[in-house]
Structure 1
Amino acid sequence: MINLHAEIIANPDKRDALQIALQNLLEPTRQEEGCCQYELYQDTQAPDRFLMQEVWCSQASLDAHQKSPHLEAFRQLITRNNLVKQSTLSYLRFIG
């Protein structure tokens, strides 16, 4: 199992557009083979901050996700529209 935590912070005045773009990733990603969990959260105290909790069954399934058309379209959209101020991807190890 591969556990990931992605933190994405919207640029000023881009929160709504980023939220829609992130929400549009949910269903196609959840339908991918090897996707065990793909959940989106918004920080209630810092609403420009979004968190994505991901669990993948294997490295191969994560690699396939990274090459998926919907993720590539998302990358192009956020770049073209300057939606993201900062993003961090953390690989997590379950310990209890």
Structure 2
Amino acid sequence: MEIRKNDTQLVCIAKFIAKDGEVDQLIQNLHSLISVTVQEGGCIRYELNQCIEEPNRITFIEKWYNQETFDAHNNSTYIQEFFNAGNPHHVKEFEVSLHKEILA
């Protein structure tokens, strides 16, 4: 998929707070999504981060070509299975926010 410099892409920030004692399992579960996701045609960036001050806070920073490719990701079998199987049951709370890139 060709990405032009002036195209605005969709940015997703998915924040997870692990339950006490569950951060390592949460990281392992979320990390398992990376290798499949980065192969999706609309995925530009998909990185998993851990907060230094509060290690139980885990954040995905994602960049997608557009809303359609992000929606296709969310509707993919492996994402649906991940969440429908009760995962991540190691999560105390989570928040997902969508942003648009601001181009200069």
Residue 63 (structure 2) pairs with residue 61 (structure 1)? no
Question: Secondary structure of the equivalent of 1:20?
Answer: helix
Amino acid across the alignment from 1:33: G
**Corresponding residue of 1:2:** 10
Q: RMSD of the alignment, in Å?
A: 1.4
Distance in 2, Cα, partners of 1:83 & 1:39: 19
TM-score (norm: length of structure 1):
0.89
* CA distance 1:58–1:94, change in 2 (3 Å): closer
CA distance in 2: counterparts of 1:29 and 1:67, whole angstroms? 12
Please, which runs of 5 or more residues in structure 1 have no aligned partner? Answer: none
Cα distance in 1 for residues equivalent to 2:71 and 2:35: 18
Alpha-carbon distance, 1:84 to partner: 0.7
- 1:11-53 alpha-carbon deviations (Å, 9 max, x no partner): 1111111000010011100001100110100001111100110
Deviating above 2 A after TM superposition, structure 1's stretches of 4 or more consecutive aligned residues are 93-96
Distance, in Å, in 1 between the alignment partners of 2:101 and 2:41 is 22
**Letter aligned with residue 69 of structure 1:** T
Within 5 Å, give how 1:81-96 maps onto structure 2.
Answer: 82-95=89-102
Residue pairs, 1:16-95, within 5 angstroms: 16-75=24-83, 76-78=85-87, 82-95=89-102
Give the drift of 1:72: 1.8
TM (normalized to structure 2)? 0.82
Give the paired residue count.
94
- Considering fraction of residues, name the structure with more helix: 1
